Amino acid sequence: MSDLLRQLLMLPDPASEAAREIDVLHFVVLGTTLVGFLAVACVTAWWLWRYRRRGDRPTERVTGSRRLELSIGGALLTLFVGWWVVGFLQYLDLQDAPEGAEEIYVTGKQWMWKFAWPSGRAVVGVLPVPVDRDVRLVLTSRDVVHSFFVPALRMKQDALPGRFTRLDFRADRLGTYPVYCAEYCGQSHARMGATVVVLSAEDYADWVAGRTPATLVPLLKGREVPDVAAEGGLAAEGRRVMQRVGCLACHSLDGSPSVGPTLLGLYGSEVELQGGERVVADSDYLTRALRDPNGQIVAGYDPVMPSFEEQLSAEERVAIFEALRALGDEEAP
């Protein structure tokens, strides 16, 4: 039944359970619309015929009862709110990949998508992901707003310059699925595509480790796949960037005190801000800390951290971000 409807409505085959659930809501909404439309159309047609004009006669004054109107309005409102509840719950569900989701960095730039793995793997235009595992894409953009859209997953998320946004999913069908850019971004907007490749667990592990599983060979042909893995992965790259731009002048990575708080063990810990507010240093917090350092001051420190927004490219920010995440798992000696 669902498959038939999907074909009629030209929906692409879904590649996740969430997509299938969204389709069901889609069918319900569409079905209700059709039923409502037919009801209105039938009544209208009947009255058009029944009360067609026969000569210039006056008509009697008819006014609807307020009761009737309120009850129709109320019924519809209930229906709409019902959709809203279901839709909103689904939306919330889409947003929370559990701890331990596989994180992959996505950088949009005119006009391509670049993907980077904590292991140091990076490639343009092809996104291998593991089947039956939660995946969290961390998106950003190097220039203008783009939007990462995978119809088979019924998912899209804008990639914004200077910010990290997230897109969570769990694909459950092997295969390749097209990606489009859905936010207008200039000349080749229509050609800013990519391919999601859902791989088996083994193949995916191979890919992350720096090997190329057979399924990927044709897709990767002609693409540059730099082997950063040899240099210690994305986190190591992030440390190098931090060293270069001067973060380490004020921050230590080993727990020792400095002008600013140590970055060791920061990620995931609880931070007390000036004014007594306590927040968890999650990815949102770190994003803000880098974007607007003086927007939230850590208790006991001076607001002296400069903004690095103009110096850091999207890729460098991704690397720093990953380094901070990796440091979060380590304990002070």
Tell me: does residue 247 bind ligand HEC (CB under 6 A): yes
In the complex, least distance from residue 126 CB atom to ligand HEC, rounded to whole angstroms? 30
Q: Which residue pairs from 224-231 have beta carbons closer than 8 angstroms and sit at least 24 positions apart in sequence?
A: 224/123, 224/124, 225/121, 225/122, 225/123, 226/122, 227/120, 228/120, 228/121, 228/122, 229/119, 229/120, 229/121, 230/120, 231/120
User: Which segments of 80-214 are extended strands (E)?
Assistant: 102-109, 112-116, 122-124, 126-130, 135-141, 146-150, 155-159, 165-169, 175-181, 194-199
Which among another protein, Cu ion, ligand HEC, none contacts residue 41 (Cβ within 5 to 8 A by kind)?
A: another protein
Interaction mask 183-222, Cu ion, x per CB under 5 A: --x------x------------------------------
Tell me: does residue 265 bind ligand HEC (CB under 6 A): no
Q: Which is nearer to ligand HEC, 2 or 307 (CB)?
A: 307
Q: Which is nearer to another protein, 136 or 252 (CB)?
A: 136
Q: Which is nearer to ligand HEC, 203 or 315 (CB)?
A: 315
**How many whole angstroms from its chain centre is CA 291?**
19
Residues 25 and 87: beta-carbon distance below 8 Å: yes
Give the separation between CA 333 and CA 9, rounded to whole angstroms: 59
In the complex, least distance from residue 28 CB atom to another protein, rounded to whole angstroms? 10
Within 110-169, the residues that bind Cu ion by CB under 5 A are 146
Which residue ranges make up the site for ligand HEC (CB under 6 A)?
242, 245-247, 249-251, 259-261, 266, 271, 281, 286, 289-290, 293-294, 297-298, 301-305, 308, 320
